[in-house]
Amino acid sequence: MKKQEMASIEQRTQAVRDALLEQGLVTASDLDTFAHMPEDWKPENGAAVVARAWTDPDFCRRLLADATAACAELGYKGPQGEYIVALEDTPAQHNVIVCTQCSCTAWPVLGLPPDWYKSPEYRARVVREPRRVLKEMGLNLSPDIGVRVWETSAETRYMVIPLRPAGTEGFSEEALAALVSREALIGVAMASEPA
């Protein structure tokens, strides 16, 4: 007997949706709410946290002591943000985040993770050859800088506080936040130099 051809992913998704709706196990309004929920989770939130930490030493201390509470001060909390830990880069130590076994991420401050973070390539390689991976991604670290790779294997959700770029003295929080990308919050890029 010929093996039945796989239905497209669109058809399979629709099949689960229709079956759950017909059985009354969920409502269309539930699904609509959950499909739009990620709109509130974005890397701009994490960038605002970093900009505040760069400009307010007291906030930075609170962030390093209890990032969950410090992020909540700015209104950033929710699923996959129950226990956030902030990792501060120094001139001698660079931090980078991965989840090798699935793709856990601090949703409220980083957003849902990008495809590259979820790829088998990143998950397999960055723990074992971080410098080569970072170089391929455009971040060439000096051999003098140590690299710590943080594996999100339990319930801690990490965010990186990158180094504040030179030449940004007197910048507003808003201007500073614009220099912090999702990639910088994960640790595969530095904060951008000011234009």
Per-residue contact flags (x/-) with other proteins for residues 136 to 165, judged by CB under 8 A: xx-----xxxxxxxxxxxxxx---------
* Residue 64 interacts with other proteins (CB under 8 A): yes or no: no
- Site residues (CB under 8 A) for other proteins, limited to 107-126: 111-112, 114-116, 118-125
Among 32, 56, 174, 193, binds other proteins (CB under 8 A): 32
* Residue 31 interacts with other proteins (CB under 8 A): yes or no: yes
* Residue 195 interacts with other proteins (CB under 8 A): yes or no: no
Give Cα separations from 136 to 92, 122, 144, 188, 189 (angstroms): 21, 11, 19, 10, 11
User: Could you confirm whether 99 is annotated as catalytic?
Assistant: yes
- Site residues (CB under 8 A) for other proteins, limited to 41-60: 42
Selecting among 60, 71, 99, 181, the annotated active-site residue is 99
Give Cα separations from 124 to 12, 101, 152 (angstroms): 28, 9, 13
The torsion angles phi and psi of 155, rounded to 5 degrees, stand at -100, -5
Distance CA 183, CA 22 (A): 41
Question: Which residue, 89 or 183, has its beta carbon nearer to other proteins?
Answer: 183
The torsion angles phi and psi of 100, rounded to 5 degrees, stand at -75, -25
DSSP SS3 for 87: strand
User: Could you confirm whether 102 is annotated as catalytic?
Assistant: yes
Distance CA 96, CA 152 (A): 11
Question: Which residue, 55 or 62, has its beta carbon nearer to other proteins?
Answer: 62
DSSP SS3 for 151: strand
Among 74, 85, 163, 178, binds other proteins (CB under 8 A): 85
Catalogue the active-site residues.
99, 102-104
